[in-house]
Structure 1
Amino acid sequence: MAERLDMNSLSKFDGSNYNQWRFQMNCALRAKGLYEIVLGTVLKSENNNETQKAWIKNDSTAMFILTSALDYAQITLIENCESSHQIIDKLDSIYLQRSESSKMIAHERFHQYRMKDSDSVAQHIANVENLAKKLKDIGETVSDAAIMTKIISTLPQKFLNFRQTWLSVSEDRQNCVHGLIGQKSIGEIKEVDGAERAVIKWIEQAETGRSKPGGETKHQMLSVREKGPHRPVQQEQA
């Protein structure tokens, strides 16, 4: 016998994050042994026998699980459905198409984004990272290197020297610099000259594998980026 399913643990679908909700439903239905019925691979028996009665009971349970994980606005969309397969088929027809459109729009916004002259470098970085997050939220993969390349390559003309310096650096060193930038936020650098000096300094640090005398190794610096939020590093005194 399948274990009891805690319906309170299921997130209600409100029209957003359909792929994640669909995965949650697939897991719940598999746990109850109902996935094939919802998928439509196990059909209702035409004979009025115990097999048909069992199918009707299981399909009703699947309908209950699905509707319990929908808010009222979504239930109105499937009120005319007479089986669990019809419910999921209806929702797929509405939201899977929207999901693909959302992916296309998110990709387009990420690739077409350019820094405005009125934006600070900090705002520029935040904008790129927000666009990348939206891609990740819909299941798309965006590497740290892609984010960093987007940040550098879309800087305005006044950062031309900075961009050329970055593009001249080897990929391995770019990865090291990316780790250093993760700790010493480029967003704190407001002047063009300061940005150019900073990237040269970061490149030099990447070559030596240390942030400063007695500082972290290159590997440690890269791991800081992976662990998430960091504290700004104070500038060294001359």
Structure 2
Amino acid sequence: MKEDSVAQRIIATSVTEPVLLHIISCPSSKQMGDNLCAVYENKTDTSVHMLQRQWFSFVKDPADDMATHVSKIQDICHRLKALGEDITDNMMMTKILMTLPSCYDHFATAWESTALDQRTLSNLTSRLIMEEARKNSQDKQVNGALVAQARSAVRGKKDPVKNKKKRKTSCMIDL
């Protein structure tokens, strides 16, 4: 009983709140495990179909960094493999390259000219992360230069409100 209680506590504190709803009323850790398997490891044709839909429609979220993007693709791939679907490393690398933003087109071209023995998933991932860091560094330099240029332009201009000469105007109305 004591070991089961410890196991229940470990399971309950290791899952997110929505997942906890599936196991909160379970009387034992075994029942918790069985419920989790029933909900999340359903090996039906429908679950394979849904994962394949995710795989084929996957696009890079602009908010994701490169490491997160690659991890999401790998996660879908691992879940498909767990359901018996064959996803090779080459397929995964192709999917990663296909989902890159257009600003990485030159990277994809360079990757295609890489020697075949160096075209590995880990090599692709590390090179993409380095390329992202390089792009971010360049973007910061460009943004810094634009800010400096804008500040310089603002300093160089005279205040149009202060420099306006007041004109005396008269209004002539013919009656």
Question: Which of these two proteins has the greater Rg computed from alpha carbons?
Answer: 2
TM-score with structure 2 length normalisation? 0.48
Structure in which a larger fraction of residues adopt helix: 2
